[in-house]
Amino acid sequence: MFKLILKKLRLTILSHQRERNLAKIISKQILLLTKNKSEINILDYGSGFEPLVINLIHKNIVNKYNKINISCCDYYKNNEINNLNKKNKNIKFFKIEKLRSMKNKYDIAICADVLHHVGIENLDKIKDILRFLRNKSTYILIKDHYEYSIVSRCILRFMDFIGNYYNGVIIPKKYFTKDLFSTVVKKSNLKIYKIIDNYRYYSKIFLFFSNPKLHFIKILKK
């Protein structure tokens, strides 16, 4: 009951502002990175159970290409995959474990607000994910968070609680610092191709957790 109330509260207060704004900026980057292609392949790694962002991205760019192939993976159960594939006709969903055995290659792999849920204390696992995606995709688009102090960490944890607790997602204990993320990228044998910082995902009304400095997008490349 509490989780249902929390979900309704999030939808009432935020009304998918984050999802719409995030889809808008990612769509723009996809168009820029694949401007000479007529067919593109996109991977949404850690797509979650409410794939609104990737559906909005598809809607934003569908008329720009002859063909768009979108794949989404996460730790789904069989019944969850079946339900997602029935509801989302333009996207293919599968278990994240299956990706390891697939030979598919992608133009862009999206990893939006996923890595901090892996756990900043599990840096080796984060590096393994990035190295794996490096071999799967030309570009890796990372959307995540920076913390600067105990105050910003608490704000981010509160945001995660409101946005993810009702789905049973583990709330992180801490988040990336700028130096830590740069180190992880370097040790994953990747380079930062493009930086998109200081973008506001929420209305200024929600100043408490809409500080653009807490959010970042980095596009990575070999």
Q: What is the C-alpha separation between 146 and 91, in angstroms, rounded?
A: 30
Cβ proximity of 106 and 43 under 8 Å: yes
Is the domain spanning 2-221 CATH 3.40.50.300? The answer is no
Percentage, residues of the chain above pLDDT 70: 87
Cβ proximity of 176 and 182 under 8 Å: no
Residues 89-104 have pLDDT tens digits of 889 999 999 998 999 9
pLDDT, position 1: 56
Work out whether strand 67-74 and strand 215-221 pair parallel, antiparallel, or are unpaired. unpaired
Residue 179, pLDDT > 90, answer yes
Residues 139-166 have pLDDT tens digits of 999 999 999 999 999 989 988 887 776 6
Residue 16, pLDDT > 80, answer no
Locate the domains of the chain by residue range: 2-221
Global pTM? 0.90
Q: List C-alpha distances in Å: 104 to 74, 137, 207.
A: 16, 9, 42
Residue 210: band (very low, low, confident or very high) from pLDDT cuts 50, 70, 90: low
Range from 192-196, 201-205, 217-221 carrying the lowest mean pLDDT: 201-205
pLDDT, position 204: 58
Range from 13-17, 67-71, 120-124, 197-201 carrying the lowest mean pLDDT: 13-17
Q: What is the 3-state secondary structure (H, E, C) of the chain?
A: CHHHHHHHHHHHHHCCHHHHHHHHHHHHHHHHHCCCCCEEEEEEECCCCCCHHHHHHHHHHHHHCCEEEEEEEECCCHHHHHHHHHHCCCCEEEEHHHHCCCCCCEEEEEEECCHHHHCCCCHHHHHHHHHHHHCCEEEEEEEEEECCCHHHHHHHHHHHHHHHHHHCCCCCCCCECHHHHHHHHHHCCCEEEEEEECCCCCCHHHCCCCCHHHEEEEEEEC
**Which two structure tokens, joined as six digits, stand for 152?**
């910003």
CA 9 centroid distance within chain? 22
The residue ranking higher by pLDDT, 146 or 200, is 146
Residue 182, pLDDT > 80, answer yes
pLDDT, position 3: 54
**Which two structure tokens, joined as six digits, stand for 206?**
């929600």
Q: What is the C-alpha separation between 115 and 125, in angstroms, rounded?
A: 9
